Amino acid sequence: MAETARPIHPLTTDEAWAFTASRASATTFFFDFDGVLSPVTDDPDASQPVPEVLGVLERLADSVARVAIVSARPVSFLRSRFETLDNVDLHGLYGLEVWHDGQVVTEPAALEFVPAMTELAEQARTGLPAEILVEYKRLSVALHYRTAPEQSRAVERWAHEQAERLGLRIQHGRMVVELKPPVDQDKGMVITESVRNAGCAWYFGDDMSDIKAFDALRAREAVDPAFFGMAVAVANPETGAEVSSAADLTLESPDAVAAFLTEGLRRF
């Protein structure tokens, strides 16, 4: 396919797809998991990709240079949902873990915090109200208050106290507070590193941590006039307005993401 001139923001989806199809061999698609490929659920362990996602990601991976999922979930969880997809890279825990070519690589600086996270999870289960769901991820602990929003301030106060005590970092999300190791790694850094040699990249996100990924696409465009980045937000009642304001395009749901990709793939 003949190359299409790099579109300028703001742009239409037709322009974005046309450019992407013309540079498919140099294009990467990145996706958050929760809220993008799967609906957000009260119980994080119950989250599953919407039915069309596996097939559309497989077709996408066959059409472009690379497809990757960049999530707050551990790689072990992502593998359990996408084990049939051989050509999709997985970046877990904001990039502290990476699954690529059949191997998991963990950021060495984070490993020393595994004992602290194990202890922290136990303290959270005994020290916080019973309705707070404590998600232990080995290298981080997420405190979900979706089923008890009235407890948000108490959860955040407890989390900040523990972060100060243990020298951890706080990550806010959709009805969740997460404690992480003090290691310089986030979704924006994952995208910055991953697009160094790309000619085009899309990122689909729904939460505050995804804005850093959007910013990484913009930064790459600023230093490389030939690069094109497309930031796609997925609407939601909690962080949707802030994320959408940082994006080029907003889709209504994970089902809409799958339908959007299916339609776009017809360009290839």
Active site residues: 32
Contact 33, 85 (CB under 8 A): no
Contact 234, 250 (CB under 8 A): yes
Q: What is the DSSP letter of 6?
A: P
- The tokens describing 72, both together, are 């707050």
Q: How is 51-106 classified by DSSP, letter by letter?
A: TTHHHHHHHHHHHSSEEEEE-SS-HHHHHHHHTT-TTEEEEEGGGTEEEETTEEEE
Contact 113, 139 (CB under 8 A): yes
Q: How far apart are CA 100 and CA 97, in angstroms?
A: 10
